Amino acid sequence: RTSRRWRALGSRCACLCWSWTTPTCTSAAGSTSVNRPTRGKPMSFSALFSVDSAGACFSSCSPKVCIVGSGPAGFYTAQHLIKQHVHVDIYERLPVPFGLVRFGVAPDHPEVKNVINTFTQTAKHSRCSFYGNVNVGKDVSVQELQRAYHAVVLSYGAEGNRTMGVPGEGLAGVYSAKDFVGWYNGLPSCRQLSPDLSCETAVILGQGNVALDVARVLLSPVDMLKETDITQPALEALAHSQVRRVLIVGRRGPVQVAFTIKELREMVNLPGTRPDMVEADFDGVTEALKDLPRPRKRLTELMLKTALQTPGETEQERRDQASRTWGLRFFRSPVEVLADPERHRTAGIRLAVTRLEGSGEAARAVLTGDVEDVTCGLVISSIGYKSLPIDQSVPFDSKSAIVPNTMGRIKQAPGLYCSGWLKTGPTGVIATTMNNSFDTARSLLDDMESGVLDLSAAKSGSQVITALLEQRGVKPVSFSDWEKIDRVEMSRGEASGKPREKLLTVEEMLHVART
């Protein structure tokens, strides 16, 4: 489907001319008549391509799009665009790609990380280039990217933490789940976290998949973790951990939990552990089952079985031998982190008792006025990630921590798009991000086709950006450079019986990449 008819310039000439003084091509390849585009109107996407008599598509002047961020959102957006003859350059702050697939997915979930194989195929496509070690907003501005590309897609995710906003949050022993996960997954900025695991009880605030990931890592037998890509410092710390009890606390009830049945089943079956539930938390839940959608119903049934049913002989024997416990605590909201007598470390947490107003997933937690104190030495807040503004030129809603957008089109910013958590907030799983990113790519392609994006002007893309970076002393890491890092990590992992041993500092990554 083309909005204008173009005659091919012949197999000897793969160029389309955007401006000329006569309506005839006078290139050395030969003279072929072409239709002159209407002056003053933007060139449509489909008009960029010419097809010769043999059906070959010439796209030497293909649209250039820049994507900021190389996590799932960035790669899925790129994947959709390159299929439509768009050239994509991906810029990443770290020397290594894949974002939360590398630094967020639990080490004992290697099957989830298999998506890296698909992203690698995208990165190696002839119309895709990777530029790691480039901090957009610092090394190069968004406005500079806009001048170099036909469109810019922001997909840099949510690297900030949502705070609890309660007294004592800054005490030693209080961590965000994002930082704790980053620590055991090798995120360079979290390398120095060194959490104190000398206490018996840990409290995790939040009841999503990340909360259960953290609980599982805290309680897993070290021999299980040794076979994953968890970092060596984290493995050593967990081997000496004194944590024997983990409570996973939520403001609402069993019907409103955010984790999925897969994560709950892993907790139920975790070797060396037994569940510790409060039966009263499940009052009325059995009666509510009939009104729940099937996935939620199956999840709730498993919680009910775990909490209320008498286990069989084999399961009872397993529980009797368990040395560690975990439990879900409902209708509780943090009020204050309690300090030890010296006021230096966490000694407990004060929880407000709540009740629900409304029903189902829309139910709201309200305070009852009662409180209870839980003794603990470790508090991990898993109440959500949040995006941060990247550049003053980009609109940002600080209240919702997203870039205001319509179907991925950033409002009041022509040529700027967003995908992933920056677009929607930190919700869903990788498949959710995939669909979200494809939607953004479709919006961008629609704008190319309709002429909303002006493709008539040639854009220099990475050529001018790499020149700017060189002037500023920034040397990007290519995808082949990343593959050097990958090989070293896998080699080190093989030597210790692990799938990989991650490099933990940017400096070490750059050294390997440039060797």
Whether residue 251 sits in one domain with residue 351: yes
- Residue 5 burial (10 A CB sphere; 0-12, 13-18, 19+): exposed
**Do 181 and 110 share a domain, yes or no?**
no
Per-residue confidence (pLDDT) for residue 36, from 0 to 100: 39
Please tell me whether residues 178 and 142 are part of one structural domain: no
DSSP 1: -
Query: Please, what's the b/e burial string for 118-157 (b: 16 or more CB within 10 A of its CB; e: otherwise)?
Result: ebbebbeeebbbbbbbbebbebbbbebbbebbbbbbbbbb
Is 348 a known ligand-binding residue?
no
- The whole-number pLDDT of residue 47 equals 52
100 appears as a binding residue in the annotation: yes
Q: Is 263 annotated as a binding residue?
A: yes
CATH code at position 312: 3.50.50.60
Mark whether 121 and 168 lie in a shared domain.
no
Residue 256 is assigned to a structural domain of this protein? yes
Sort strands 245-249 and 273-275 into parallel, antiparallel or unpaired. Answer: unpaired
Q: Check whether residue 379 and residue 262 sit in a common domain.
A: yes
Domain of residue 75: give its range.
64-159+387-477
Per-residue pLDDT, 12: 31
- Give the tens place of pLDDT for each residue, 67-102: 999 999 999 999 999 999 999 999 999 999 999 999
Q: Is the pLDDT reported for residue 37 higher than 90?
A: no
Token digits for 483? Answer: 């593959």
CA dist 164 and 333 (Å) reads 10
Please check if 504 is assigned to a binding site.
Answer: no
92 is in an annotated binding site: yes
Residue 251, marked binder: yes
Task: Please check whether residues 337 and 402 belong to one and the same domain.
Answer: no
209 marked as part of a ligand binding site: yes
Q: Is residue 408 part of a domain?
A: yes
C-alpha angle 305-310-314 in degrees, rounded to nearest 5: 100
Q: Is residue 151 part of a domain?
A: yes
- Tell me: the pLDDT tens digits for 44-56? 555 554 443 333 3
Strand 346-357 relative to strand 364-375, pairing: antiparallel
H helices, E strands: number in the chain: 17, 20
Under 8 Å between Cβ of 333 and 251: yes
Name the domain boundary from 327, 351, 383.
Answer: 383
Q: Are residues 330 and 394 in the same domain?
A: no
247 and 340 part of one domain: yes
CA distance 142 to 154: 9
31 lies in a domain? Answer: no
Predicted confidence at residue 44, as pLDDT, reads 52
Average pLDDT over residues 153-181: 95
Q: State how far the Cα of 310 lies from the Cα of 313, in Å rounded to an integer.
A: 9
Tokens of 95: 């020397």
208 is in an annotated binding site: yes
Place of tokens 């900021």: 68
Q: Is the pLDDT of residue 39 over 50?
A: no
73 is known to lie in a ligand binding site: yes
Q: 146 and 173: one domain?
A: no
Q: What is the mean pLDDT of residues 258-264?
A: 96
Domain end residue (candidates: 352, 383, 414): 383
